[in-house]
Amino acid sequence: MALGDSRGPLNRRNRYIAIVLFSAIVVAYEAVAVEGALRTAHLDIFLVTALPSIAGGLILIAFRPRATQKLMLSMGRRQWSYIMLLSLVASVGVFMWYDAVNLIGASKEAILGGGSSEVLFIVILSALFLGERLNRWEVFGGLLILMGVFLVLVNKDVLSLKLGRGEIEAIIGSFFLASSAVMVTKMLREYDVIPISGIELMISGIMLLVIGMIVSPIVWPDTFGWILLFALGIFPAMAITTYFAGLQGIGASITSVLFSLNGILTVVAQLSVLLFITNADVRFPENLALALIGGAIAFIGVYLIERNPTGQVPKVDHIEHPH
């Protein structure tokens, strides 16, 4: 009985680690799909950021309509103000992320954004506002992950000190996304993940659509473009739910460190796309041998985090598994 009790928290922790890794895979394919929508299909940047968010929000709300209605009726002015601010911060982060993908490509954005700077921002913000701390094995594993991601995606352009608009957007957008991750962690201590995710996606998408219609004339797509835009809504619905579930289960710091693997997974996603679309315009690391070494180092880092015998799942008032 004692053995079962000691292993229970670790099994639960490993389950949340798997959820976060799945979320990283979803985001990797999302980045490649966005790159195709912007650079190949030439869809409007505001439509690509806004409509998939709205569609993803509708999917989640339809999945839990009663819970969403109950949540909306239970929130007061203070909670609504907080979620509006959260949605604004998230919308800025998503716009800069997508625009950076359009300007510098999914792989380069991954190393500057989700694969490096976003992790750093979340760890710092979590320490400042959530009181989270990583133990020595988690720190060491996290450093290995970051090193591996860098080796996979390194090229002469990344090593250059010159920063263009795309690079700057990738870094600043990561700060906004990191801020939204820390902000939503507090809400998930009181509310269910799916209703909160659905509401946040809906509001973020509406904000982006309104801003896009104000700042510039939007180029509306053809029928195929509309289908593509709403199909893209599946990605944020899946990614945001699994990511936020990880925040509930293992905290923002460890979730963000694991999520840095999405840089490596973006390269894998690009390779898999080429299997079906041989003429797809994708960019790969210049040194494939170095990329393989980096991938091995990164997954060693994930193994160290997963096998950590002292890791504890932070206490959350209410947790509901997304599946």
Q: Report which listed range, 167-171, 277-281, 283-287, is most confident.
A: 167-171
Phi, psi of 313 (to 5 degrees): -80, 125
User: What CA–CA distance (Å, rounded) separates 83 from 40?
Assistant: 34
| Of 13, 27, 34, nearest in space to 105 by CA | 34
Q: Check: CB of residue 296 under 8 Å from CB of residue 185.
A: no
Please report the pLDDT score of residue 313 as a whole number: 41
Kindly list the domain boundaries of the chain, sorted by start residue: 12-306
List CB contacts of 6: < 8 A, sequence separation 6 or more.
none
Distances (CA, A) of 166 to 42, 44, 57, 113: 17, 17, 27, 11
Single-letter amino acid, residue 177: L
Please report the pLDDT score of residue 5 as a whole number: 44
Residues 36-46 pLDDT 10s: 888 888 899 99
Per the prediction, the chain carries an average pLDDT of 79
Q: How many whole angstroms from its chain centre is CA 301?
A: 19
Q: Check: CB of residue 98 under 8 Å from CB of residue 161.
A: no
3-state helix, strand, coil split of the chain in percent (to 5) is 80, 0, 20
Q: Where are the alpha helices (DSSP H) in 64-135?
A: 65-74, 77-104, 106-112, 118-129
Region for 313 from its dihedrals, namely left if φ exceeds 0, alpha if ψ lies in -120 to 50, beta otherwise? beta
Residue 273 pLDDT grade (very low, low, confident, very high; cuts 50, 70, 90)? confident
CA 152, 157, 163, 165 torsion-angle sign? negative
**The model's pTM:** 0.77
pLDDT at 4 over 60: no
Please report the pLDDT score of residue 288 as a whole number: 59
Please report the pLDDT score of residue 59 as a whole number: 93
| Of 134, 95, 106, nearest in space to 40 by CA | 106
Q: Report which listed range, 30-39, 88-97, 274-283, 286-295, is most confident.
A: 88-97
